[in-house]
Structure 1
Amino acid sequence: MAHVHAPPGSLRGTFEDGLAVFRAVPYAAPPVGEQRWRPARPHPGWTGTRDATADGPSAPQMHLEGGDPVLGGHGSPPFDEDCLTLDIWTPAADDARRPVLVWIHGGGFVSGSGSLPNYSGATFSRDGDLVVVSINYRIGALGYLYTGSEDEPKGSGANHWLTDQLTALRWVRDNIAAFGGDPDSITVAGQSGGAVSTAALAGLPESQGLIRRVILMSPPFGLDLPTPEASLERTAAFMELAGVKTLAELRALPWPALIGATGGLFGRTTRWGYWPTPFLPVIDGVTLPRHPAESLLHGAAAGIEVMIGWTREEANFGFALNEAYATADPDRVTARIADTFGPEAAPGVYAAYERARPGAGPADVLMDLITDELFRVPALRLAEARAQTEHPVWAYQFDLPAVAYDGRLGAAHCLELPFAFANFDQWAHAPLTAGLNPAVRDGLARTMHEAWIAFARTGDPNHPGMPRWNPYEKGTRTTMRFDSVVTALDDLAGDSLRLHERTADRPA
């Protein structure tokens, strides 16, 4: 058994393949009862020795028996509202002050868990001599439902998920030294919704000095985030679906009823040609002062070291296997393009996407458009803005395509995860990774994994096993392409950026 005496209390963990591992460590008080839809509160600690040998419950979420056709599932029972815990992997609970990597899972704001085996911190800890922390936080209705200012304690705001993450980050700062970590060298990394969380955290005044660097994997920065007023419309729809008229009644419902209503909200909010997001962060001016895409351009956050990247065909994850999109015709896709570019420019934009991908059909054009406007172009805009400063970013694009489903997924959203973690044995359930050439797969995983480790340790992803990776700077726009051959290219995605610059000049 592994033992640690931390400020909140003593913990008994396990040794796993040479690492000390502590699971289901509570960082906040249970957000249950009257504390549902309240800001996270620090955990009061415990007496005696707490067992930390097994994972605790994940945040409540929808669950498909048998999994989904891309990831094979993204959250497993048990689920419970009392879920605000974290897992820790460390080479030794000593005074070595190792760099710390904090992982925030994604999942469209409605799914996922920090304790999923595919998000195990073991490979990063073992290979990089890092202390790795993976967190659970409130998702779906429990984390993102805006209940209105009258229901909130003064100054608490809307984004309870973000208060969870900030509380976890403060817990890491205050306690990680007992696990062999350096509280002055914390890298926060996240993918998809977790990357949005990471950027939001970095921009909070309360986080100043807590985060040294961030890794933003496929952040959907193109999401149009609502104001509190707009959020209340969605809250009203959710309450109707839940069959209640007051917040008191909603607070009294068991959490499975909330998950059921979430399914209904998916149906009401899904729009053809858009990524479904029944719940979104709320720009409330209190917990979230600005869009997370802008967070790393302001104040102390402007100096945080940043790695950012996307996959070449992000949107294929959600659309390539959906027959409603496979049969799309050019007129409908052009109409969707008009939402972004206006009706006059839409035919020309459609033609530009056709030229960019030889043999592209209407569904391909649509997926490339969604990839650009939701992921690639907003990430490039952040890189462009930082390139004007003394704090540029390291940018990458993941290009290796999936083999499954006759290659229809391409280099889809989430495919880079097992490469960064270098733990394909934990992804055997995911159709997304099936059939990859083991030699190519493992070679690329080594390169990416070591780059993530190098960045977490030094703020520079370069290591001897890869070509020179320069920051994304004005004039060069260097972007690392992760494929069967790893190559640093200048202005790799510039065509997408220039095409979408048209929208900046279009009247609202």
Structure 2
Amino acid sequence: MRILGVERGANLGKELRELPAERLLSAYSKLAMDRAVPGQIAPPMYPVFGGPGMPLARDKALQEGLLDGKELLIGCTRDEMTAFLNFDERLQSLDREMVLNLLATRAGESAQDSYRSYEAQHATATPLQILAEVGTGLYFRNGMMALADHPSKSRRKTFIYQWDFVPEPDVANLGATHCGELPFLFGTFSSYQSSPMLGQQNGRTEKLWQSFAGALAAFVSSGAPQGGGLPYWPKYAANPGVQIRHFS
């Protein structure tokens, strides 16, 4: 309220609803910067339990059969965390011990184990690069797979994608970063012309847009992200093997 310049009163809700969206977004951005903590990706404000779209916590909703009888399509990008790390100057000088301590504070010893495992397989990776990989798993990929593997008595099909598109040129070393698929879902490339996550547009981006947006539109209309000349998208199966559609 202080950032918005709105005084608390009996008509607070009415006053907030009358504010221009641009002013609300600007205030939210300032709040996020004021409360920013290195390596922290949590937003400064959350939906309220019991409010529209958030009647229950996710785990409780799943236990009560939220996904029963429904097809499910979920996905994440390959390098989600680079969007949260690469532009924060405070993080660029982190060394190995600092990253391990940060992971222990945020996610416990299992996160440190993930760091060491990835480090052993990628000898040239920097501590910040390993933090990005481990964080992508902790905050995005692991939860996605847990959702896919959650038992459902009557769910018919689950489809999973991973966004692997890397912009050309990749000026910020983002790889396939957080929200990188959004321009390809809505075809709104003109809104991202200076965005480092998109790069230069060419025939490749046009083809990828048609493939990705077409698949998701097909899923919305039919429950299956294929058909009508679209490539085959296998349904997910935890056993005998994982089936994930990669978009690049």
Which residue of 442, 452, 464 maps to 2:206?
A: 442
Q: Distance in 1 between matches of 2:172 and 2:210?
A: 23
Q: What displacement does 1:250 show? A: 5.1
Distance in structure 2 (CA, Å) of the matches to 1:260 and 1:426? 18
Contact kept? 1:311, 1:397, Cα under 8 Å: yes
Flag the structure with higher helix content: 2
- CA deviation profile, 1:240-288 (whole Å, cap 9, x unmatched): x667774438555884786675455324532221115111112248973
Match of 2:31 in 1: 265
| 2:10 partner letter | A
SS in 2 for 1:406: coil
Residue 312 of structure 1 contacts residue 411 of structure 1 at CA under 8 Å; is this kept in 2? yes
Q: Is the 8 A contact 1:321 1:408 kept in 2?
A: no
Partner of 2:147: 382
Distance 1:403-1:289 versus aligned 2 partners, 3 A rule: same
Instruction: Judge conservation of contact 1:335–1:346 (CA < 8 Å) in 2.
Output: no
Q: Which has the higher contact order (CA 8 A, sep 6+)?
A: 2
Structure-2 separation of matches of 1:370 and 1:465? 36
Query: 2:10 — aligned with what?
Result: 248
CA distance, structure 1, for counterparts of residue 127 and residue 120 of structure 2 = 12
Report whether the alignment pairs 1:371 with 2:136: yes
Structure 2 distance, partners of 1:255, 1:464, is 44
What's the secondary structure of 2:10's corresponding residue?
helix
Q: What residue is the counterpart of 1:304 in the other structure?
A: 70
Q: Which has the higher strand share?
A: 1
TM-score by length of 1: 0.42
| Equivalenced residues, count | 243
Amino acid at match of 2:118: Y
Partner Cα separation in structure 1 for residue 144 and residue 185 of structure 2: 19
Could you tell me which of 209, 220, 236 is aligned with 1:472? Answer: 236
1:459 aligns to 2:217 (yes or no): no
- What amino acid is aligned across from residue 114 of structure 2 in structure 1? V
Query: Is the 1:396–1:481 Cα contact (8 Å) retained in structure 2?
Result: yes
Instruction: Indicate if the aligned counterparts of 2:82 and 2:175 stay in contact, CA closer than 8 A.
Output: yes
Structure 1: distance between partners of 2:137 and 2:147: 14
Measured in 2, the distance between the counterparts of 1:338 and 1:474 equals 29
The residue type equivalent to 2:116 in the other structure is A
The answer to whether residue 173 in structure 2 is matched with residue 411 in structure 1 is no
Matches within 5 A, 1:165-314: 246-248=8-10, 255=19, 262=28, 265-284=31-50, 288-292=54-58, 295=61, 298-299=64-65, 301-314=67-80
Measured on the aligned residues, the alpha-carbon RMSD in Å equals: 3.3
Residue 141 of structure 2 aligns to a residue whose secondary structure is: helix
Structure 2 distance, partners of 1:259, 1:478, is 38
Is the Cα–Cα contact under 8 Å of residues 48 and 54 in structure 2 kept in the other structure?
Answer: yes
Deviations 1:329-365 (A, max 9, x none): 212211121134425x554322123245552211112
Question: Which stretch of structure 1 is more off in the superposition, 294-303 or 454-463?
Answer: 294-303
Which of 354, 360, 383 is the matching residue for 2:125?
Answer: 360
Change in 2 beyond 3 A, CA 1:481/1:346: closer
Name which of structure 1's ranges 458-467 and 242-251 shifts more when overlaid on structure 2: 242-251
Change (3 A) 1:387 1:453: same
Alignment partner of 1:328 is 2:94: yes
Q: Which runs of 5+ in 2 are unaligned?
A: none
Name structure 1 gaps, 5 residues minimum: 1-237, 484-508
- What per-residue deviation string (whole Å, max 9, x for no partner) do you get for residues 405-450 of structure 1? 43601001121122233453554343422225x2332232222222
Contact 2:170/2:199 (<8 A) preserved: no
What secondary structure does 2:161 align onto?
Answer: strand
User: Larger Rg: 1 or 2?
Assistant: 1
Conserved? CA contact 1:269–1:277, under 8 Å: no
| C-alpha contact 2:82 2:174 (8 A) present in aligned 1 | yes
For the residues of structure 1 that align with 2:9 and 2:123, how far apart are their CA atoms?
A: 53
Q: Is the 8 A contact 2:39 2:84 kept in 1?
A: no
1:406–1:243 distance in 2 versus 1, CA, 3 Å: closer
Displacement of 1:451 in angstroms is 1.2
Q: Does structure 1 conserve the Cα–Cα contact (< 8 Å) formed by 2:71 and 2:155?
A: no
TM-score normalised by length of structure 2: 0.79
Q: Which residue of structure 2 aligns with residue 319 of structure 1?
A: 85
* Identical columns (%): 28
Pair 285,314 (structure 1): closer, same or farther in 2 beyond 3 Å: same
- Whether the aligned pair in 2 keeps the contact of 1:315 and 1:367 (CA below 8 Å) is yes
